[in-house]
Amino acid sequence: MTVRTGREFLAVPGPTTIPDEVLQAMLRPAVELYSPPLVELTDSLLRDLKRLFGTAGQTYIYIANGHGAWEAALTNVLSKGDKILVLASGRFGLDWGEAAKRLGISVEVLGGDWRRAVRPADVERRLRDDKDGVIKAILAVQIETSTGIANDIEAIGRAIKAAGHDALFMVDAVASLGCVPFEMDAWGVDIAVSGSQKGLMSPPGLSFVAASDLARAIHRNAGLRTPYWDWTAREADTHYRKYAGTPPEHLIYALRKALDLLFDEGLDNAFLRHRLLAEAVRRAVGSWQTGKVIAFNVLEPAERSDTVTTILMEPPFDPSRLRDYCEAKCGVVLGRGLGELDGKAFRIAHMGYVNAPMMLGTLGVVEMGLEALGIPHGEGGVQAAINWLSTSVKA
């Protein structure tokens, strides 16, 4: 017997649930690519992305996924043979470093603990050692989708400044933008990248790069520039050049609608909503883990992200059986473990277009699954989540 007929609940950390209005914004005829409303649409998006990234610099919209934006960020400011420092706390930071290697960049990895955030003091120490300024850029990830770790970008920015180092600070905000604060200029970030399909509640296919004036100055002499990613070319007046060719009309109409929804809610409200719902999930997981089998992947509570929670499951219990139960029996799709955590963890996303009944329904089904499968766990997870939310969301 299943009780899954009804709305599917997608609780994976991207692509996330897309609001109906956003999907419907794509339901429109194509328009001529030089038409004035389309030009104005692009301008409005570039402007609003600056607001989202917290920068007075420049923003660029790429028809590409996040890996494309990574390549855009690297090729616009680096040259073959340059050295960079990758601050790793999960798979995606490592992958960005891999991409750099394949571009001919020399990569050093710092950290790499999958259960702890990057320590700013380690960054500062390493940079102080680099007396000759060999390191040209530092790559960090704000929220690591694989591990659920939230790195403190502001503190890392301070550490770089404290070290007196002038490497570019490049941050992946793919799994965080629109969900938690991001203040590029205030935090000393030079280049930030993000994508459409997570906190920004839009279909996958667009990614974004923001660049500070310093980054754009260094860009002029970068050896890896290519026509498709090139910032200078995209800063041309012609609308057509802003996308290096035909604009992705339907995707940008969708993004426009998604940003409208986000700004209508208010960024601060959205951040607070994410914090409350993330804490509800953590209260549930905290109750469940009073048994030995279930545990938070991230050891330090302060380093657990507000967009995704990675939950370890000890053998012989198998997270894929839990994921199967939730999906096949109840219509709830959980995230799987990635990289080192493949087969050892599952993930619950609380990112983007999520509210209290969606998260309580998701947690309720996870608890059903733990019980039905006989996976040892503490009781009262959802109850703890409800208690937390009822005191936080006052009448």
Interaction residues for a second copy, span 106-135 (CB under 8 A)? none
Torsion, Cα of 271, 272, 277, 279 (10° steps): 110
Tell me, by CB under 8 A, how many residues bind a second copy: 109
Q: Which of 46, 106, 368, 378 binds a second copy (CB under 8 A)?
A: 368
- Contact between 238 and a second copy per CB under 8 A: no
Q: Which of 108, 129, 269, 376 binds a second copy (CB under 8 A)?
A: 269
Give the nearer residue to a second copy in terms of CB position, either 154 or 379: 379
Q: Which of 131, 302, 316, 395 binds a second copy (CB under 8 A)?
A: 395
Give the nearer residue to a second copy in terms of CB position, either 120 or 248: 248
Q: Which stretch binds a second copy (CB under 8 A): 150-158, 163-171, 270-278, 306-314?
A: 270-278
Q: Distance between CA 265 and CA 37 in Å, rounded?
A: 25
> 280-299: which residues touch a second copy (CB under 8 A)?
none
> 182-201: which residues touch a second copy (CB under 8 A)?
195, 197
- Contact between 18 and a second copy per CB under 8 A: yes
Q: Which of 249, 286, 296, 309 binds a second copy (CB under 8 A)?
A: 249
- Contact between 143 and a second copy per CB under 8 A: no
Q: Which of 109, 155, 163, 389 binds a second copy (CB under 8 A)?
A: 389
- Contact between 158 and a second copy per CB under 8 A: no
Q: Distance between CA 174 and CA 81 in Å, rounded?
A: 27
Give the nearer residue to a second copy in terms of CB position, either 54 or 361: 361
Contacts 24+ apart (CB under 8 A), 93-98: 93/139, 93/140, 93/141, 93/144, 93/172, 94/339, 95/67, 96/70, 96/139, 96/141, 96/172, 97/139
Torsion, Cα of 233, 239, 245, 247 (10° steps): 130
Burial of 173 per CB tally in 10 Å (0-12, 13-18, 19+): buried
Q: Which of 16, 76, 142, 310 binds a second copy (CB under 8 A)?
A: 16
Q: Which of 52, 140, 168, 330 binds a second copy (CB under 8 A)?
A: 330
Give the nearer residue to a second copy in terms of CB position, either 164 or 223: 223
Q: Which stretch binds a second copy (CB under 8 A): 99-107, 125-133, 156-164, 295-303?
A: 99-107
Q: Which of 83, 161, 336, 344 binds a second copy (CB under 8 A)?
A: 336
Give the nearer residue to a second copy in terms of CB position, either 121 or 236: 236
Torsion, Cα of 93, 97, 103, 105 (10° steps): 140
Give the nearer residue to a second copy in terms of CB position, either 78 or 159: 78
> 35-64: which residues touch a second copy (CB under 8 A)?
63-64
What are the phi and psi torsion angles at 237 (to 5°)?
-70, -40
Name residue, tokens 């420049």: 58
Q: Which of 71, 152, 172, 306 binds a second copy (CB under 8 A)?
A: 71
Q: Which of 122, 155, 228, 344 binds a second copy (CB under 8 A)?
A: 228
